[in-house]
Amino acid sequence: MIPINFEYTNTVFAVNQPEYQPLPAHIAINGDVSICWELTDVEIEKLKETKKLFISVKTFGQPLQPLFMTTEVGDVISLLKCESCEEKTDIETMSQDDDSNWFCPKCWEELTPVMKAEYDKLLKNGEIDAEE
């Protein structure tokens, strides 16, 4: 098994530590760390055969932290569908408009000027009152 970059990777541990393999990961605002591992075909067959997976955690004598394993990225990273492109996106990278619609960073960048222009037009035409 090797740790791999995945869509939501936002850091890499042990980059300058030759005794360790670089470890791509996602760190959430709450401190949770998620890592994606890719299995070889041989490992997949072994898992099918034994239905067992062993994990070794270097605790360096400290208490063991809770572990969670899954095959679904949405189980470890909060994903939300962008209102514009409908792509599932890490909610921590998204922006929300005044109507509680969530947008991915790309759509937010594209739509912000459009939404501002529409707001300014409605304000100018007296269709809405200025927010205080």
Strands (E), the chain: 2-4, 11-13, 23-27, 33-34, 36-38, 79-81, 88-90, 95-96, 102-103
Do 102 and 90 share a domain, yes or no?
Answer: yes
Do 99 and 86 share a domain, yes or no?
Answer: yes
What tens digit of pLDDT does each residue of 34-85 get? 999 999 999 999 999 999 999 998 899 999 999 999 999 999 999 999 999 9
DSSP letters along 114-125, please? HHHHHHHHHHHT
Give me the pLDDT at residue 109, please: 95
Q: Does residue 42 belong to any structural domain of this protein?
A: yes
Give me the pLDDT at residue 128, please: 85
Short-list 28, 27, 29, CA closest to 13: 27
Q: Does residue 132 belong to any structural domain of this protein?
A: no
Q: Does residue 46 belong to any structural domain of this protein?
A: yes
Q: Does residue 131 belong to any structural domain of this protein?
A: no
pTM of the model: 0.74
Q: What share of the chain has pLDDT > 90, as a percent? A: 82
Q: Does residue 130 belong to any structural domain of this protein?
A: no
Do 68 and 12 share a domain, yes or no?
Answer: yes
